[in-house]
Amino acid sequence: MTVQTIIDRKGNDVATAGPQNTVAEIVKMLADRRIGAIVITGADRRIVGIVSERDVVRVLAQRGPACLEDPVSLIMSRGVVDCSPSEKVNDVMRKMTEGRFRHVPVTVDGKLVGIVSIGDVVKHRMMDLESEASAMRDYIVMG
């Protein structure tokens, strides 16, 4: 199963913000959209970073509420690991495990076309396992 299958189901919508948006604005976006991460894009809509609820919690613990007025560029992760729509979901799962993150933006020629979260990956893995189990049951009953 490829990343495209996930994009087909959930669509191309990705929550993005600019590097100058404040941490407070990011917190509001995360809460309003009930999501765990926001992709930070530059002027040409290319990915320049990613910020997740973990980054916000870390900086709040370190600096207290004063950090809410900072631009998100101060707390975002750079060097974002992305994937392509043709990549296997299992390979994306490996990237998440090795990089210890739960979000992977999907890009084509450097342009953002979607995002895969660990929840999407687990859901598709379960659907895979269920269809394998049902094929196995059919095989046993028929045999």
Q: How far are the Cα atoms of 16, 30, 142 from residue 86, in angstroms, in the given order?
A: 22, 28, 35
For residues 28 to 67, the per-residue mask of contacts with ligand AMP, x marking binding by CB under 6 A and - elsewhere, is: --------xx------------xxx-xx------------
By CB under 6 A, is residue 68 in contact with ligand AMP?
Answer: no
The phi-psi region of residue 79 (left if phi > 0; otherwise alpha if psi is between -120 and 50; otherwise beta) is left
By CB under 6 A, is residue 102 in contact with ligand AMP?
Answer: yes
Torsion of CA 4, 127, 100, 35, to 10 degrees: 70
User: How many whole angstroms separate alpha carbon 2 and alpha carbon 88?
Assistant: 4
C-beta of 55 vs 120, nearer to ligand AMP: 55
Q: Which of 23, 67, 101, 114 binds ligand AMP (CB under 6 A)?
A: 101
Q: Which of 3, 59, 80, 106 binds ligand AMP (CB under 6 A)?
A: 80
Give the total of residues touching ligand AMP (CB under 6 A): 15
